[in-house]
Amino acid sequence: MKLLAKLTLSYALAAGLLATHYTAHAVREVHDFEVTVSIPTQEFYALPADPGFLEREHQMGWNPQHLDLVPIKAFFDVLSSGGAITARLGYEPKLSSTKFEIPLQVKLNNQLLTLTDSVIANDQQARYGLRVPLRIDAVKPAQGYEAGKYYGNVLILFETLAP
């Protein structure tokens, strides 16, 4: 009887260790992340030259010598087989804090963008493609900048005639 008890105890211990072993391996870690791609047509595109430009937050640096904000600068590659390319703002761009606002001035290919269309590449430039500069400046308030954390967005709409 003692032999049967020892065997039963041995099998029970073995089964318990085996179950613990498999349970330890049943734990897993899962990572889920987004992957996106935007493939432009060969007839029309307006893309930042730096592929990561739109995915990053851009901070306007503070210039203590001039008490002013440093502009954001980038380049866009544009092409259209349908004709000239226009750009406009989707809304008035600004930086906002809880108390104050700082208007932004947006230029694309040295054209000041507003809520109405501006030609940023004529027919010939657009047909062969062009790299155009983007510059975003803060408009300094008359009383100067107020201290604080400011946030904002810029929405630029590009259009051309359908090919």
Tell me the helices (H) and strands (E) count for the chain, helix number first: 2, 12
- Say how many C-beta atoms besides its own lie within 10 A of residue 157's C-beta: 13
Give a yes or no: residue 93 inside a domain: yes
Residue 102 identity (one-letter amino acid): I
Domain that holds residue 152: 44-159
CA-to-CA distance for 160 and 123, rounded, in angstroms?
A: 10
Give a yes or no: residue 130 inside a domain: yes
The pLDDT assigned to 5 comes to 46
Give a yes or no: residue 86 inside a domain: yes
Give a yes or no: residue 7 inside a domain: no
CA-to-CA distance for 126 and 156, rounded, in angstroms?
A: 17
Give a yes or no: residue 33 inside a domain: no
Give a yes or no: residue 2 inside a domain: no
Q: Enter the tokens of residue 87.
A: 């750009």
Q: In this structure, what CATH number is given to the domain that contains residue 84?
A: 2.60.40.2040
Q: Could you read off the pLDDT of 146-159 as tens digits, one per residue? A: 999 999 999 999 99
User: What mean pLDDT do residues 131-149 have?
Assistant: 95
- Select from 128, 106, 157, 133 the least CA-distant residue to 50: 133
- Select from 110, 109, 98, 96 the least CA-distant residue to 141: 96
Q: Please count the structural domains in the chain.
A: 1
Give a yes or no: residue 150 inside a domain: yes
Q: Could you read off the pLDDT of 80-119 as tens digits, one per residue? A: 999 999 999 999 999 999 999 999 999 999 999 999 999 9
User: What mean pLDDT do residues 39-68 have?
Assistant: 91
Give a yes or no: residue 29 inside a domain: no
Global pTM reads 0.75
